[in-house]
């Protein structure tokens, strides 16, 4: 074991990846988790007085497919459907923890109260970590900022660590818009942070506020339980994207590297608008914002389309005030007799328990690879999972964990200050400014590729092409899977990763049938045409490659 001591704060997806990758490089991390279970948002005890993490509600279906939200070296079970339910996600991360024996490293019911530099930090880079049993420190989201008093700190357990990996989650403090009259609204006021199920709203007149993922999902979920139409106030409007696209494909399987690097924003927007319009006339019905999809809020649809078309969910414009239990909207429309209002208006982050000079400016932190504070002398503290963007955070989180584990054990050279500043600038440039709490939406697939390049695990076309030309084309023109980051470089496993890529590329849906599991494959004709195209493209590329190698060897 290496002599470096590592503290991981939080045992959600990021914490688990961090423990696993640290173990892999020979470290023996200690993880503090304030809850009594691992999994973060996927298992949090939402009713507990101590949790500072929102929770996936009972009926939640993931907005990312299993191909991009599972880790690169641990596949979801064969019979896992493309989109997972909350229990399926919980089960996946639990089996990941068991498989890699991560649970022995987790100290449950322990809250990290403060992380601060040791007095000799400038020489050693070490950190003091103060912890206490969760039961002794109440407050949850009602006490944002965790102002810790000296006497409280004195009662805490103090340890010194060489490295601290902050995996405490990005969605911490529920945000409420300033709505006149809300203070005197007589009904129930909730935030999606505390939402569990629509059962609690049976028979009630519910108003959902928001225009993004939570708002769409929760309006739909509540409408399953109350016979009264649910009002959904969209504020600045939204785009509703189908989860399932043509041929039964999960939406995120349409993102190829070719589109990512050769396409442009206008093309993406045209494609996205086409998808949205294919199910519901956004423009005619006026629900679309004045910004194109890449720059506006959006939600995932499927069920909500039908709810809107049957008036089970009624779209309202900007909520401007409450007059008692009457909600008044910008257009002058009113809904009276509102029993409950659910704010799905987002979160802000909270890293106030760390004494470090990194501020969160509307969701943006000055971090190399959204991970390493640029202004720190030592690379001994890193944030994992502090990202919001297009794609699945887990994919980027795993690469962050692989990166930091290699960096702290000297397997990777530390980035220079100049390189870090350039990296921050580059991420800022590729991010898209949008409305909302998290102003910067990071294209997560580009971020993954960026980190993968630094670790040396980027799936380079030509290097793959020389071993398997068809796979090289799949990696460039096909969907992006996590397993692609195990094809080349350190800790790669070509055979396994290759098999996963082929299988993931083939299978569109996996259904359980009375006769067993049935995999429905792509339409034979399309597949045959695809293969012919690939063969032709491979032959041409082979000739180009041979010509290039010949040219290189002569010059």
Ligand X SMILES: Cc1cc2nc3c(=O)[nH]c(=O)nc-3n(C[C@H](O)[C@H](O)[C@H](O)COP(=O)(O)OP(=O)(O)OC[C@H]3O[C@@H](n4cnc5c(N)ncnc54)[C@H](O)[C@@H]3O)c2cc1C
**For 506, which DSSP code?**
H
Instruction: For CA atoms 282, 284, 288, 292, give the dihedral sign.
Output: positive
Which residue among 63, 72, 90, 110 contacts ligand NAP (CB under 6 A)? 63
Separation CA 426–CA 432 (nearest Å): 12
Beta carbon of residue 52, minimum distance to ligand X (angstroms, whole number): 5
Residue 392's binding partner, choosing from ligand NAP, ligand X, none, with beta-carbon cut-off 5 to 8 A by kind?
Answer: ligand X
50 is a contact residue toward ligand NAP (CB under 6 A): no
Which residue among 145, 177, 180, 337 contacts ligand NAP (CB under 6 A)? 177
| 188-191 and 173-174 beta bridge pairing | unpaired
Cβ-contact 412, 406 below 8 angstroms? yes
Site for ligand X in 327-366 (CB under 6 A): 353
388 is a contact residue toward ligand NAP (CB under 6 A): yes
Which residue among 4, 5, 6, 12 contacts ligand X (CB under 6 A)? 12
Which residue among 52, 65, 70, 369 contacts ligand X (CB under 6 A)? 52
Residue partners of 465: CB distance under 8 A and separation at least 6: 472, 541, 545
Cβ-contact 349, 386 below 8 angstroms? yes
92 is a contact residue toward ligand X (CB under 6 A): no
- Find the radius of gyration of the CA atoms of the chain: 24
Residue 209's binding partner, choosing from ligand NAP, ligand X, none, with beta-carbon cut-off 5 to 8 A by kind?
Answer: ligand NAP
Helix, coil or strand: residue 364: strand
| Residue (15 or 54) nearer to ligand NAP, CB | 54
- Angstrom CA distances, 463 to 173, 474, 553, stand at 45, 13, 17
| Residue (133 or 229) nearer to ligand X, CB | 133
383 is a contact residue toward ligand X (CB under 6 A): no
Separation CA 485–CA 452 (nearest Å): 7
Beta carbon of residue 314, minimum distance to ligand X (angstroms, whole number): 23
Separation CA 96–CA 101 (nearest Å): 8
x/- contact string, 252-291, with ligand NAP (CB under 6 A)?
----------------------------------------
Residue 204's binding partner, choosing from ligand NAP, ligand X, none, with beta-carbon cut-off 5 to 8 A by kind?
Answer: none
214 is a contact residue toward ligand NAP (CB under 6 A): yes
395 is a contact residue toward ligand NAP (CB under 6 A): no
387 is a contact residue toward ligand X (CB under 6 A): no
438 is a contact residue toward ligand NAP (CB under 6 A): yes
> What HEC string does 271-318 produce?
HHHHHHHHHCCHHHHCCCCCCCHHHCCEEECCHHHHHHHCCCEEEECC
Residue partners of 459: CB distance under 8 A and separation at least 6: 452, 475, 484, 485, 487, 488
Q: Which residues bind ligand NAP (CB under 6 A)?
A: 60-63, 171, 177, 192, 209-215, 217, 233-236, 297, 319, 344-346, 388, 435-438
Q: Where do contacts with ligand X occur on this chain (CB under 6 A)? A: 9-15, 32-35, 40-41, 52-54, 56, 62-64, 69, 111-112, 167-169, 171, 214, 353, 385, 392-394
């Amino acid at each position: 074991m290496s002599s470096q001591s590592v503290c991981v704060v939080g045992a959600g997806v990021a914490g688990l990846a961090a423990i696993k990758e640290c173990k892999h490089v020979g470290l023996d991390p200690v993880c503090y988790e304030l809850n009594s279970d691992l999994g973060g948002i996927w298992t949090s005890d939402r009713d507990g007085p101590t949790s500072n993490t929102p929770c996936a509600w009972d009926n939640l279906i993931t907005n990312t497919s299993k191909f991009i939200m599972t880790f690169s070296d641990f596949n979801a079970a064969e019979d896992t459907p493309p989109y997972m339910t909350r229990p399926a996600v919980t089960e996946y991360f639990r089996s990941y923890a068991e498989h890699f024996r991560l649970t022995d490293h987790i100290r449950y019911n322990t809250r990290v109260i403060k992380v601060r530099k040791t007095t000799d930090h400038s020489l050693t880079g070490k950190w003091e970590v103060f912890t206490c049993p969760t039961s002794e420190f109440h407050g949850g989201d009602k006490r944002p900022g965790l102002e810790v008093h000296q006497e409280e700190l004195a009662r805490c357990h103090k340890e010194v660590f060489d490295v601290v990996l902050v995996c405490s989650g990005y969605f911490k403090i529920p945000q409420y818009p300033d709505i006149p009259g809300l203070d005197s609204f007589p009904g129930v006021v909730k935030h999606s942070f505390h939402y569990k199920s629509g059962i609690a709203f049976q028979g009630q007149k519910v108003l959902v506020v928001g225009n993004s993922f939570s708002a769409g999902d929760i309006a739909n979920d509540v409408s399953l339980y109350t016979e009264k139409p649910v009002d959904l106030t969209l504020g600045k409007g939204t785009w509703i994207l189908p989860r399932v696209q043509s041929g039964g494909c999960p939406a995120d399987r349409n993102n190829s590297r070719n589109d990512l690097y050769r396409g442009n924003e206008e093309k993406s927007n045209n494609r996205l608008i086409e998808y949205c319009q294919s199910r519901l006339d956004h423009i005619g019905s006026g629900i679309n914002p004045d910004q194109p999809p890449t720059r506006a809020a959006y939600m995932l649809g499927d069920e909500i389309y039908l709810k809107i078309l049957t008036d089970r969910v009624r779209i309202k414009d900007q909520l401007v005030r409450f007059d008692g239990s009457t909600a008044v909207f910008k257009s002058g429309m009113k809904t009276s007799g509102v029993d409950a209002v659910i704010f799905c208006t987002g979160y802000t982050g909270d890293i106030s328990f760390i004494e470090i000079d990194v501020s969160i400016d509307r969701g943006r932190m000055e971090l190399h690879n959204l991970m390493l504070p640029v202004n720190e002398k030592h690379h001994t503290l890193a944030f994992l999972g502090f990202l919001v963007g297009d794609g699945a955070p887990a994919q980027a989180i795993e690469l962050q964990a692989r990166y930091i584990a290699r960096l702290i054990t000297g397997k990777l050279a530390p980035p220079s200050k100049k390189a870090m500043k350039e990296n921050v600038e580059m991420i800022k440039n590729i991010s898209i400014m949008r409305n909302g709490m998290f102003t910067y939406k990071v294209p997560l697939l580009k971020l993954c590729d960026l980190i993968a390049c630094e670790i040396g695990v980027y799936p380079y076309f030509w290097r793959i092409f020389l071993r398997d030309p068809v796979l090289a084309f799949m990696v460039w023109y096909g969907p992006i899977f996590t397993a692609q980051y195990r094809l080349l470089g350190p800790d790669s496993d070509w055979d396994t990763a290759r098999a996963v890529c082929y299988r993931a590329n083939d299978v569109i849906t996996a259904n359980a049938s009375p006769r067993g599991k049935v995999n429905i494959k792509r339409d034979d004709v399309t597949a045959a045409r695809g293969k012919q195209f690939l063969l032709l493209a491979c032959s041409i590329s082979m000739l180009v490659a041979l010509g290039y190698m010949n040219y290189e060897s002569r010059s």
